[in-house]
A and B are shown apart, each in its own frame.
Chain A
Amino acid sequence: MTKPVSPDEGLTPARLAAKYGLSVSGARPSLVEYVRQLWGRRHFILAFSQAKLTAQYSQAKLGQLWQVATPLLNAFVYFAIFGLILNAGRGMPKDVYIPFLVTGVFVFTFTQSSAMAGVRAISGNLGLVRALHFPRASLPISFALQQLQQLLASMIVMFAVVIGFGSYPKLSWLLVLPALVLQFLFNMGLALIVARMGAKTPDLAQLMPFIMRTWMYASGVMFSIPIMLEDKPAWLADVLQWNPAAVYMDLIRFALIDGYGSDNLPPHVWAVGLGWAVVLAAGGFVYFWKAEERYGRG
């Protein structure tokens, strides 16, 4: 094997690579390029989320019925504990409190499960990350999308409960759509952020249930924040009501429940909801992209 002396001899690997136009493998693409790649994978993102959703209940005899039955049972348990035993309604009439509780539980669960799935999006799918090439943001986005589809299934229960307690469909119900879009954007950003953190520190997956539970109790899922904090300083109630989970819950309750008027909402609630969504979605996306080349190290 005698090779002729080549003009490439003596070139450093970096020079050689530059000469033949090779690029660094696994380097992070520019943000614009990243968005483009992600858009190219939109079918994968959707198919993956649907597949996860289907696989979830495929072994059960009742199958996809559980998508609706699980949230219903959840709502029932919360009602038994907070509505009947603890009487957390505090004077709210029953035909307001029960839909209030059910929408609260479902809407909060949407954010909660997006965060829980997001934190394991990379660390729980290392096999996939180490085997195939795709923009890693596909995973957390796909998990957030899976939760959105899950919520849409629970919406059937939600509408039934709301109608059952005397709030009939009206024009304001359409407000659910923009509220859900905003909440989805927020959840997606949240999932992206915790996905990067969880990829670096898998322990976060263990810490997450505590964070989410604290957040749930601070957001007024099963009680109305203004009523509960009546004798506390007003700023405390304001802060709690402006937290994103409370904002999205209130927007959807306001849209659906007749007895839940705008006096229950904090001022500028739509602006706050929009702000949270934009900040988290954009910030989370950039934050996730910044570590793109490092996912998979484990």
Chain B
Amino acid sequence: MAEQQQDQRVPTVIADELHIVYRVNGAKTGKGSATAALSRIVKRGSGDARGVRKVHAVRGVSFTAYRGEAIGLIGSNGSGKSTLLRAIAGLLPAERGKVYTDGQPSLLGVNAALMNDLTGERNVILGGLAMGMTREQIKERYQDIVDFSGINEKGDFITLPMRTYSSGMAARLRFSIAAAKDHDVLMIDEALATGDRKFQTRSEERIRELKKKAGTIFLVSHNNKSIRDTCNRVLWLERGELRMDGPTDEVLKEYEKFTGK
């Protein structure tokens, strides 16, 4: 009987004493001038680690996520939430510790692959390919993506370069492209509530749909209400450490006490 219950608790993501360290090169300015670059390289020959600062963003986080869970990540700005997500997705190499996952977790977001100088049309294709969709899949969903973004509601904007879009329009197109793919382990970073009221409702609906198809969801948000609405478990990060891990209500209560004072 215990065995049967175990069957329902299949781990999908295990983080084991995870540490993430960013290395920031202090001397990154003045890229243009060749002489300045040369003098810096000469200087660097003597002391190698000079000018490099380490930022320890995640310090020894361990948890196990199970199938069917929707996990919220909360914490103040710079507490390591987004970094943790990227490490789970295997996008940031771990300094120490390991993350084990079932399949390939993916981050909802495609901004970095898009180019402002290209038309919306080409960006839909480029973004889709960057997410690992095939050309056929993109062709199939192309119209849905454009319709969903609502870019063409005010004229034929999809054939204009993305730099000509208003920030709201660009954000809508980005979200539409990112949300076009289904994911096993889905990770959503905050600031999804972009665009006008109408688009917000539409995107919330789409996220709910994606959630239904995904096995496990991670949601980073500063909006306690959206966490409460969607998550049944919450991880609270503070200064890169896991401060609390538990059911949504308990953790949020403590978190509100912490931030309220």
Cβ contacts A to B, 25 pairs, < 8 Å: A6-B2, A8-B6, A13-B64, A16-B11, A16-B100, A22-B11, A25-B87, A25-B89, A26-B91, A47-B129, A51-B122, A54-B117, A132-B131, A133-B90, A133-B104, A203-B40, A205-B31, A206-B31, A206-B37, A206-B38, A207-B41, A296-B91, A297-B22, A297-B93, A298-B23
Determine whether the beta carbon of A203 is less than 8 Å from that of B44. Answer: yes
Q: State A14–B25 Cα separation when bound (angstroms).
A: 34
Chain A residue numbers with a CB within 8 Å of B34 are 206, 209-210
Q: State A21–B101 Cα separation when bound (angstroms).
A: 9
Across the interface, A13 reaches (CB within 8 A) one of B62, B105, B109, namely B62
Across the interface, B11 reaches (CB within 8 A) one of A20, A54, A294, namely A20
Q: State A22–B92 Cα separation when bound (angstroms).
A: 18
Chain B residue numbers with a CB within 8 Å of A24 are 98-101
Across the interface, A25 reaches (CB within 8 A) one of B11, B99, B113, namely B99
Q: Is A214 on the interface with B (CB-CB < 8 A)?
A: no
Q: Is the interface of B mostly helix, strand, loop or mixed?
A: mixed
Q: Is B49 on the interface with A (CB-CB < 8 A)?
A: no
Across the interface, A131 reaches (CB within 8 A) one of B10, B22, B107, namely B107
Q: State A8–B2 Cα separation when bound (angstroms).
A: 11
Q: Is A266 on the interface with B (CB-CB < 8 A)?
A: no
Q: Is A31 on the interface with B (CB-CB < 8 A)?
A: no
Q: State A27–B90 Cα separation when bound (angstroms).
A: 8
On whether A298 and B118 interact (CB within 8 A), knowing A203-B40, A206-B31, the answer reads no
Chain B residue numbers with a CB within 8 Å of A17 are 11, 14, 100
Q: State A133–B6 Cα separation when bound (angstroms).
A: 31
Q: Is B242 on the interface with A (CB-CB < 8 A)?
A: no
Q: Which of A122-130, A187-195, A226-234 contacts B (4 or more CB under 8 A)?
A: A122-130
Determine whether the beta carbon of A296 is less than 8 Å from that of B93. Answer: yes
Given contacts A14-B100, A24-B98, A132-B131, 12 further A-B contacts (CB under 8 A): A14-B16, A14-B98, A22-B14, A24-B100, A25-B13, A25-B98, A47-B125, A127-B111, A131-B111, A133-B89, A203-B25, A207-B41
Complex: chain A residue closest to B37, CB-CB: A206
Determine whether the beta carbon of A131 is less than 8 Å from that of B23. Answer: no
Determine whether the beta carbon of A59 is less than 8 Å from that of B92. Answer: no
Determine whether the beta carbon of A25 is less than 8 Å from that of B44. Answer: no
| Chain A residues within 8 Å of B, Cβ to Cβ | 1, 4-8, 12-14, 16-17, 20-27, 40-41, 43-44, 47-48, 51-52, 54-55, 58-59, 125, 127-134, 202-203, 205-207, 209-210, 293-298
Q: Is B192 on the interface with A (CB-CB < 8 A)?
A: no
Chain B residue numbers with a CB within 8 Å of A48 are 113, 126, 129-130
Determine whether the beta carbon of A6 is less than 8 Å from that of B9. Answer: yes
Determine whether the beta carbon of B98 is less than 8 Å from that of A47. Answer: no
On whether A130 and B100 interact (CB within 8 A), knowing A22-B12, A296-B91, the answer reads no
Q: State A22–B14 Cα separation when bound (angstroms).
A: 8
Determine whether the beta carbon of B115 is less than 8 Å from that of A51. Answer: yes
Determine whether the beta carbon of B94 is less than 8 Å from that of A26. Answer: yes
Chain A residue numbers with a CB within 8 Å of B90 are 25-27, 133
Determine whether the beta carbon of B2 is less than 8 Å from that of A25. Answer: no
Chain B residue numbers with a CB within 8 Å of A58 are 117-118, 161
Chain B residue numbers with a CB within 8 Å of A202 are 25, 28
Complex: chain A residue closest to B101, CB-CB: A25
Chain A: minimal CB distance from B171 (Å): 15
0 or 1 for each of B135-165: is its CB under 8 Å from A? (1 = yes): 1000000000000000000000000010000
Q: Is B112 on the interface with A (CB-CB < 8 A)?
A: yes
Chain A residue numbers with a CB within 8 Å of B109 are 131
Chain B: minimal CB distance from A201 (Å): 9
0 or 1 for each of B10-52: is its CB under 8 Å from A? (1 = yes): 1111111000011111001001001001101100100000000
On whether A207 and B106 interact (CB within 8 A), knowing A14-B16, A22-B101, the answer reads no
